[in-house]
Amino acid sequence: MNQFLLQQGTSPELQLFPHIIEFSLKKNHSIQLNSFPETISDTLRIYYIMDGKFEWIIHNHEHILYPGDVAVVLPGQKLGGSKGFLDIGSINWIHIKTDKLDRSGKLLPGKWSCLSKNESLAIGKILYVNTHLVLLKAREVGIMLQELRQELVQQQIGYTAAVNHFLDQLLISIARKLSQQNISYRDFPQAFTKLENALRQNLAHQWTVEEMAGLVGLGTTSFTEKVKNYTGFSPLNYLITIRISEAIKLLKRQGLNVTDIALDTGFYSSQHFSTTFKKLTGYTPSEFKKRNVSKN
Amino acid sequence: MDCIISIELGTNAVRIFAFDMQGNVIGFAKGAYPTFHPVPDHSEQDPEQIFITMLYILKNLLSEKIHPQKHKVLCICFSAAMHSVLAIDRNGVPLGNAITWADNRGKKEAQALKNSPLGKKIYNATGTPIHPMSPLVKIAWIKNHDKERFKQTWKFLSIKSYIIQQLADVYVIDYSLASATGLLNIHKKNWEPDSLKYAGISSDKLPELVPVFHAENKLRKEYQTLLGLSARTKIIVGSSDGCLAMLGSGAWKKDKATITIEDSGAMRVIGKQVLQDKKQRFFNYILTDNYYVSGGPTNNGGVVFEWFAKQFGDFKNAFDIESSMEELIQEAAKVATGSDGLLFLPYLLGERAPIWNANARGVYFGLNINHERKHLIRATIEGILFEVYSISKTLEEHRTINSITVNGSFASIPFCTQLIADIFNKPVSISKNTNSVSLGAFLLSATEMNIYKDLDEAAQTVVLPDTYKPNKQNHSVYKKNFAIFENLITRLSDEFGAIANLQ
């Protein structure tokens, strides 16, 4: 494939796709000093290595990328060459502007996307909990970018839908591959411990089963079945045991109010907290707090 | 219909069984909770999560299986993993997490105490081997290394004592579980002054001692309402998992022993006398006034086979270790007895009985160019069982053992059960009730309610039909292999220390 550079505002091909900020294929034949200093990205960037060897610093981590590898840079993360320049080789990249992608992993791709709200949230979560956003040997991403280019250039019937479809597909492939990459599929207890740590670190988040399953690299059906076998609980009920036990610890501490505890431990309101707590423990949170304080 | 409920607070999960009055299981539920390892050697659990998990599944079991059938719950009987320590403050609020049996933070304290005359004296008085698992050592560690917590502690509880306190508002521990703390004099049945002095506490820092049959406590009103139980439902304090597994094992005779192998394992015997061992190799725990459960624990049971499966098994489906292990067993069965001269020392997690060496490590010995994966599989299984056999050999210095019963998920795999018969050269029976601990809790409860006149009568009701007979030829092969196994352990003693230092 030949080199190309499409940019929002100047390239007519992108007129119907305001969310594609840049789409390019570059063949770099020579090294130029300071050609690739570290800069902060304001978009979601996906790089696919076609040829050569690239030494990059992504979000303060050094990576060496080989053909077939994919690097993902999130808004707010830094990217640049390890030595400040772009290495010799070919890369294909795309910069996508999303309506929202924040540090808590909340992803709203935009109107163009067909992803459901829960799916977007799950993908965003996977992007943000995986600290090393480098995919090894993800040739399907390269193929998708090629097809995306074809659609943009040829503009056949239905191409706007097709282009946006490929963008969704890109996000899906990257999320799936990321969630599977670091898991051996041999040790469920280990994978579950990792998940449990993620849950505890962000207990206030409204976790969905899709997000939890994504972190373990399973589909929701087999994830739910595995968790049920392993813990005796459905994933959401297991999460409730964590929420309530953390809430109990906070209730037994002095000086915290019930509403704060409710929100900190992931209940959407003190009412929701109260109902769940009473159903499980036989006490309302306030009664429970009193019982444990009155003994002082 | 009347029923009895047993609650087993295990290492990774709480298991609740409902029994009818004949001892048939009419309901079961389990709920898992995590173990935290904030730093290596530390192994902790959140007492609040254990309590909530227990309450959650108990409530569901009652409302889904017991109340709709109009069963009447006569009593709830507890059992628990041994050796846990939970510090609480004056308000009953936990000071940090509970420290579990697997915690090794006190290894220096244990080493120093074990080799001292005081250590020997304490072992003889308390029956609990001096080891980091022992609550005695853990409390001493807190005294030395976590002074703030030690100062704030109003009482040191076991996890079970905490759960019962939450439900029934009393601080109690049964003699049985207390006899696994290293703090109880198992002959005089009071808190041992030497231990208390070593741990730096007085006896009022410990819960009140009560018999295993103690049933004076009532559920708090709120829990009666929540669970739909009445004030007449007895809360029986119960015993430890090890002692109840012995009671439910069907090995309630002088010439019998029982082998339990789950992740870890133990070989146990029951008797009216303590087994005094100069080398401090056994535990002696109290079951009741008349009976002691003695034996030796191993760290390296089914967990080692699981390790093997994770590393070398085939996984056709994600996380499907069960199928992977089944296939490995099938392959192992194709290899000749003794794995064609390949031996395995299973000490991946260090070892307790009989060598009590935390630095012991795993070894494959005798590999030649003709050995295949299947030989390694079989050698791994044989090695795990040789280790239990080495406990048996030490027990047999004190007792004659003519037959064995087995329980636990690993030991009751038919292939493993037959291997036990062949290696030990004794007939082996397998329990039809897969959970001996809960069965033990049922028998204890039924005895408390005078359904049986005593534990002797209760224990005799456990009938074990399925007998595996030893194969003499196989045994003679194993005898030769085991002789090398035993020598290797002794010879490698220094090298274990050296290699552990590099890890």
B241 backbone dihedrals φ, ψ, rounded to 5°: -60, -40
**Sign of the alpha-carbon torsion through B443, B444, B449, B455:** positive
What is the third-level CATH fold of B2-243? Nucleotidyltransferase; domain 5 (3.30.420)
Contacts of A237 in chain B (CB under 8 A): 56
A163 closest CA partner among A123, A98, A114: A114
Model confidence band, residue B316 (pLDDT cutoffs 50, 70, 90): confident
Contacts of B63 in chain A (CB under 8 A): none
| Class of B302-393+472-501 in CATH | alpha beta
B151 and chain A in contact, CB less than 8 A? no
Q: Within this chain, do residues A167 and A228 fall inside the same structural domain, yes or no?
A: no
> For residue B471, what are the CA distances in angstroms to B126, B267, B343, B411, B424?
40, 21, 20, 18, 10
What does the alpha-carbon distance between residue A30 and residue A83 come to, in Å, rounded to a whole number? 14
Q: How close A142 gets to chain B, by Cα (Å)?
A: 27
What does the alpha-carbon distance between residue B54 and residue B80 come to, in Å, rounded to a whole number? 12
Burial of B322 (0-12, 13-18, 19+ CB in 10 A): exposed
Q: Within this chain, do residues A159 and A199 fall inside the same structural domain, yes or no?
A: no
Q: Within this chain, do residues A159 and A189 fall inside the same structural domain, yes or no?
A: no
Q: What is the DSSP string of A186-241?
A: S-HHHHHHHHHHHHHHTTTS---HHHHHHHHT--HHHHHHHHHHHHSS-HHHHHHH
The predicted structure's pLDDT at residue A179: 84
Q: Within this chain, do residues A70 and A91 fall inside the same structural domain, yes or no?
A: yes
**pLDDT at residue A219 above 60?**
yes
**pLDDT at residue B119 above 90?**
yes
The helix/strand/coil state of A18 is coil
Contact yes or no for B91 and A280 at CB 8 A: no
**Sign of the alpha-carbon torsion through B311, B312, B318, B324:** negative
The helix/strand/coil state of B210 is strand
Q: Name the residue among B93, B227, B319 with its Cβ closest to that of A185.
A: B319
- Percent of chain B whose predicted confidence (pLDDT) is above 70: 99
A38 backbone dihedrals φ, ψ, rounded to 5°: -70, 125
Chain B interface, best mutation among A193, A194, A248, by max B CB count within 10 A: A248
What does the alpha-carbon distance between residue B116 and residue B120 come to, in Å, rounded to a whole number? 7
**pLDDT at residue A295 above 70?**
no
Which residues in chain B (48-107) have CB-CB distances under 8 A to chain A? 48-49, 51-53, 55-57, 59, 91-93
What does the alpha-carbon distance between residue B424 and residue A139 come to, in Å, rounded to a whole number? 56
The predicted structure's pLDDT at residue A296: 43
Q: Within this chain, do residues A45 and A175 fall inside the same structural domain, yes or no?
A: yes
Q: Within this chain, do residues A238 and A149 fall inside the same structural domain, yes or no?
A: no
Measure the N-to-C terminal CA separation of chain B; round to a whole number of Å: 58
Helix (H), strand (E) at residue B390? helix B373-395
What does the alpha-carbon distance between residue B101 and residue B354 come to, in Å, rounded to a whole number? 18
B250-297+403-466 has CATH 3.40.50.300 classification: no
**pLDDT at residue B429 above 70?**
yes
- Look up the domain containing A270 and give its range: 184-296
Q: What is the DSSP string of B441-472?
A: HHHHHHHHTTSSSSHHHHHHT----EEEPPPH
Q: Name the residue among A185, A280, A283 with its Cβ closest to that of B52.
A: A280
Q: Name the residue among B30, B223, B319 with its Cβ closest to that of A188.
A: B319
Burial of A291 (0-12, 13-18, 19+ CB in 10 A): middle
Contacts of B33 in chain A (CB under 8 A): 241
Chain A interface, best mutation among B51, B52, B155, by max A CB count within 10 A: B52
A65 and chain B in contact, CB less than 8 A? no
Tokens of B357: 């060496």
Contacts of B31 in chain A (CB under 8 A): 231-233, 241
Please answer whether residues A163 and A114 qualify as being in contact, where contact means their C-beta atoms are separated by less than 8 angstroms: no
Beta bridge partners of residue A25, listed in sequence order = A4, A92
Q: Within this chain, do residues A53 and A139 fall inside the same structural domain, yes or no?
A: yes
Please answer whether residues B80 and B64 qualify as being in contact, where contact means their C-beta atoms are separated by less than 8 angstroms: no
Beta bridge partners of residue B173, listed in sequence order = B209
B225 and chain A in contact, CB less than 8 A? yes
**pLDDT at residue A290 above 60?**
yes
Contacts of A280 in chain B (CB under 8 A): 52, 55-56, 59
pLDDT digit string, tens, across residues B393-403: 999 999 999 99
**What's at B21, amino acid-wise?**
M
The domain that holds A228 is classified in CATH as 1.10.10.60
Q: Under 8 Å CB-to-CB from B44, ≥6 apart: which residues? A: B35, B36, B37, B38, B96, B97, B98, B99, B100, B103
DSSP symbol at B171: -
Model confidence band, residue A105 (pLDDT cutoffs 50, 70, 90): confident
Q: Name the residue among A226, A232, A282 with its Cβ closest to that of B57.
A: A232
Q: Within this chain, do residues A107 and A192 fall inside the same structural domain, yes or no?
A: no
What does the alpha-carbon distance between residue B141 and residue A268 come to, in Å, rounded to a whole number? 42
Tokens of A292: 């444990």
What's the gap between Cα B198 and its chain centre?
Answer: 26
Contact yes or no for B225 and A282 at CB 8 A: yes
Chain A interface, best mutation among B63, B65, B159, B319, by max A CB count within 10 A: B319
**What's at B448, amino acid-wise?**
E
Tokens of B250: 């069907």
Least confident piece of the model among A251-255, B8-12, B214-218, B284-288: A251-255
Task: Specify the number of domains making up chain A.
Answer: 2
What does the alpha-carbon distance between residue A120 and residue B351 come to, in Å, rounded to a whole number? 49
Chain B interface, best mutation among A180, A181, A184, A186, by max B CB count within 10 A: A186
- Percent of chain A whose predicted confidence (pLDDT) is above 70: 98
Contacts of B223 in chain A (CB under 8 A): 282
Burial of B314 (0-12, 13-18, 19+ CB in 10 A): exposed
Q: Under 8 Å CB-to-CB from A193, ≥6 apart: which residues? A: B34
Who has greater pLDDT, B105 or A129?
B105
Q: Within this chain, do residues A210 and A164 fall inside the same structural domain, yes or no?
A: no
What does the alpha-carbon distance between residue B407 and residue B417 come to, in Å, rounded to a whole number? 9
What does the alpha-carbon distance between residue B48 and residue A246 come to, in Å, rounded to a whole number? 8
The predicted structure's pLDDT at residue B5: 98
Contact yes or no for A241 and B48 at CB 8 A: no
The predicted structure's pLDDT at residue B394: 96
Preceding peptide of A37 cis, ω within 30°: no
Q: Mean pLDDT, chain A, as a whole number?
A: 92
**What's at B281, amino acid-wise?**
R
Contacts of A296 in chain B (CB under 8 A): 91
Q: Which residue has the tokens 């227990």?
A: B54
Nearest CA in chain A to B48: A245
**Domain regions of chain B by residue span:** 2-243, 250-297+403-466, 302-393+472-501
Model confidence band, residue A293 (pLDDT cutoffs 50, 70, 90): low
Q: Which residue has the tokens 């030991």?
A: B411
Please answer whether residues B361 and B351 qualify as being in contact, where contact means their C-beta atoms are separated by less than 8 angstroms: no
**What's at B180, amino acid-wise?**
A
Q: Mean pLDDT, chain B, as a whole number?
A: 96
Contact yes or no for B319 and A249 at CB 8 A: no
**pLDDT at residue A294 above 90?**
no
Burial of B391 (0-12, 13-18, 19+ CB in 10 A): buried
Out of A111, A146, A181, pick the residue that ends a domain.
A181
A268 and chain B in contact, CB less than 8 A? no
Chain B interface, best mutation among A188, A193, A231, by max B CB count within 10 A: A231
Contact yes or no for A230 and B92 at CB 8 A: no
Q: How close B96 gets to chain A, by Cα (Å)?
A: 10
A147 closest CA partner among A156, A177, A109: A156
Q: Name the residue among B32, B91, B309 with its Cβ closest to that of A292.
A: B91
The domain that holds A163 is classified in CATH as 2.60.120.10
Residue range B180-206: average pLDDT? 98
Q: Helices in chain A by DSSP H: which ranges?
A: 117-129, 139-154, 159-181, 188-201, 209-216, 220-231, 235-251, 258-264, 270-281, 285-293
**pLDDT at residue B53 above 70?**
yes
Contact yes or no for A241 and B33 at CB 8 A: yes
Burial of B82 (0-12, 13-18, 19+ CB in 10 A): buried
What does the alpha-carbon distance between residue A98 and residue A107 come to, in Å, rounded to a whole number? 8
Residue A161: Cβ within 10 Å count: 12
Out of A166, A181, A196, pick the residue that ends a domain.
A181
Q: Within this chain, do residues A156 and A258 fall inside the same structural domain, yes or no?
A: no
B354 closest CA partner among B386, B379, B378: B386
Most confident among A198-202, A215-219, B206-210, B289-293 (mean pLDDT): B206-210
Please answer whether residues B390 and B357 qualify as being in contact, where contact means their C-beta atoms are separated by less than 8 angstroms: no
Would you put residue B111 in left (φ > 0), alpha (ψ -120 to 50) or beta? alpha
Q: Within this chain, do residues A234 and A294 fall inside the same structural domain, yes or no?
A: yes
Q: Within this chain, do residues A220 and A115 fall inside the same structural domain, yes or no?
A: no
Contact yes or no for A295 and B51 at CB 8 A: no
Radius of gyration of chain B (CA): 22
A24 backbone dihedrals φ, ψ, rounded to 5°: -155, 155
